[in-house]
Amino acid sequence: MNAEILCVGTELLLGDIVNTNATYLAKELASCGINCYCQTVVGDNPQRLRECLEQALNRADMVITTGGLGPTYDDLTKETVAEYFGRDMVLHQDTLDRMRGFFARIQRPMTKNNEKQAMMPKDAVIFFNDRGTAPGLAVEGGGKTVILLPGPPREMTAMFQSGVRPYLEQRSKTVLVSHSIHLIGVGESQVEQQLRDFMLEHQNPTIAPYAKEGEVMLRVTASAPTREEADELIWPVVEDIRGQYDKYVYGVDVGTLQNALVIALKEKNLTVCTAESCTGGLISQRITQIPGSSGVFHCGVCAYANDIKTALLGVTQSTLETHGAVSEQCALEMARGARRISGADIGISTTGIAGPDGGTETKPVGLVYVAVSSRWYERALELRLGRGYGDERESIRNAAASNALALALKAVTK
């Protein structure tokens, strides 16, 4: 089966947002074994949208659209697709009820224009939206299928996983199963280079690397008649890779580092606290993303200024004078200080130069120390996260936070 991706949105044409939806869908389609030879972006203009839709459907069996499902007058993807298939728009009562419930819950009036979102092409398959008001849908006819998804990435990706993926799998005779190996401390290009032959020789399961700041995820995907048979294909490969990258693997199917950490802490009945300088609260924010993290995390301190490092965390004046705030010693004292004031089992800390200013010859932008402290394990790491580009403050902070979380995970499992 061939598919194309058609993203609708003037903000994409103006370059206001990066089209991560196309990347996401491209990757997902590839993992479903569906070929995709073309992606298009078009604005909220009915004629041009219609033209691009027709061209895409001339080339492919299926088109997946994102965007243009909202309540406003320039959201017209649904209407354009209905017209293409010659379908009337009819009220989808269930959707309207859900939307009313939604507005009641947020205690805001449901303006009239929202009702438009409950109008659907006749006989469409509806995908519920757990994260917003606009549902997605699939329309089929004449051997062609168009799947319409909302534009906001967090709505789109959730809907893809909960609704679209099962829909695509139903139409195929096989199921696709994936497991993910999570690594930290190794670069994507290094993994890709080393595993290149391995990836090329494996067609089922396939192996695809994904990079995110400071981390690499390897997704192993198999296609088989049943989930069990797919798993039988996948696990030997997962174990093989896990063996090769033992030093770097922090989990399989654990989602994020912070999730892996919270799970590990709960299992061991341990608590963690943070003392952050250059990451400025990013680590505590990531830990508290996880529902139920309040059981393992009680307190974090963001000690951005030196006098706060001293007053709140007990970093000594002599450490600041001899080694400076950006040092292994300071990182360790911060981690210990956080433990002291919170009573937690494990303290995590970061101190470094996130840039763009503040770097020197000996302490350049990107130099970060992360540390953990506990009764049974204490360790600091020096990281050099700068690449010499101008605009890398956020990637330095993210990578520093990831490395600190990974070090804490190591402390838990020691």
Judged by CB under 8 A, does residue 252 bind a second copy? no
- 23 binding a second copy? (CB under 8 A): yes
Which position among 13, 34, 96, 233 is part of the footprint of a second copy (CB under 8 A)? 13
Please give the Cα distance from 190 to 140 (Å, whole number). 43
Q: Which of 16, 201, 321, 361 binds a second copy (CB under 8 A)?
A: 16
The least CB distance from residue 123 to a second copy, in Å, is 27
Question: Per-residue x/- marks for a second copy, 108-147, CB under 8 A?
Answer: x--xxxx---------------xx----------------
Kindly tell me the sign of the dihedral angle through the C-alpha atoms of 219, 224, 226, 230.
negative
Up-side HSE of residue 329: CA atoms within 13 Å toward CB?
A: 11
Site for a second copy, residues 157 to 216, rule: CB under 8 A? 158, 187, 189-190, 192-193, 196, 208-210
Q: How many residues bind a second copy, per CB under 8 A?
A: 109
Residues in the chain: 414
Choose among 370, 368, 329: nearest CA to 352.
368
Work out how close the CB of 332 gets to a second copy at its nearest, in angstroms, rounded to a whole number.
20
Q: Which is nearer to a second copy, 186 or 233 (CB)?
A: 186
Are residues 408 and 370 in contact, defined by beta-carbon separation less than 8 angstroms?
no
Task: Give the binding range for a second copy (CB under 8 A) out of 77-85, 137-145, 239-247, 378-386.
Answer: 378-386
Both ends of the chain: CA-CA distance in Å? Answer: 48
Residue 320, token pair as written in the block: 């600041």
The answer, yes or no, to whether the previous bond of 205 is cis (omega within 30 of 0) is yes
In the complex, minimum distance from the CB of residue 127 to a second copy, in angstroms, rounded to a whole number = 15
Stretch that binds a second copy, among 86-94, 141-149, 243-251, 394-402 (CB under 8 A): 394-402
Smallest distance from a second copy to CB 364, Å: 9
Helix (H, G, I), strand (E, B) or coil at 329: helix
Task: Look up residue 326 and give its two tokens.
Answer: 């950006």
Structure tokens at 261: 């950490």
Segment interacting with a second copy, rule: CB under 8 A, options 227-235, 296-304, 367-375, 403-411: 296-304
Closest to 244 in 3D by CA, of 181, 307, 322, 332 = 181
Q: Is 198 in contact with 206 (CB distance < 8 Å)?
A: no
The answer to the question of residue 359 lying near a second copy (CB under 8 A) is no
- Min dist. Cβ of residue 384 to a second copy (A): 6
Give the one residue of 239, 389, 413, 414 binding a second copy; rule: CB under 8 A: 389
* Residues with Cβ within 8 Å of residue 10, at least 6 apart in sequence: 43, 44, 74
Binding positions for a second copy, 32-91, rule CB under 8 A? 36-43, 45, 48, 52, 55, 70-73
CB of 376 to a second copy, least distance (A): 23
Q: Smaller CB distance to a second copy: residue 123 or 253?
A: 253
Which pair of structure tokens corresponds to residue 113?
A: 């224009």
Judged by CB under 8 A, which of 84, 160, 297, 369 binds a second copy?
Answer: 297
**Distance of closest approach, residue 244 Cβ to a second copy, in angstroms:** 17
Min dist. Cβ of residue 28 to a second copy (A): 7
How far apart are the C-alpha atoms of 359 and 354, rounded to whole Å? 9
Strand ranges for 109-262 from DSSP E = 119-121, 125-127, 136-141, 144-149, 175-184, 206-212, 215-224, 249-252
Judged by CB under 8 A, does residue 227 bind a second copy? Answer: no
Query: Which tokens belong to 139?
Result: 């329309």
Among 105-113, 141-149, 224-232, 237-245, the segment contacting a second copy (CB under 8 A): 105-113
94 binds a second copy (CB under 8 A): no
Tell me if 409 contacts a second copy by CB under 8 A: no
CB of 94 to a second copy, least distance (A): 16
Q: If you ran DSSP here, which 8-state letter would residue 45 be given?
A: -
Phi/psi-derived region of residue 70, left when phi > 0, alpha when psi is between -120 and 50, beta in every other case:
beta
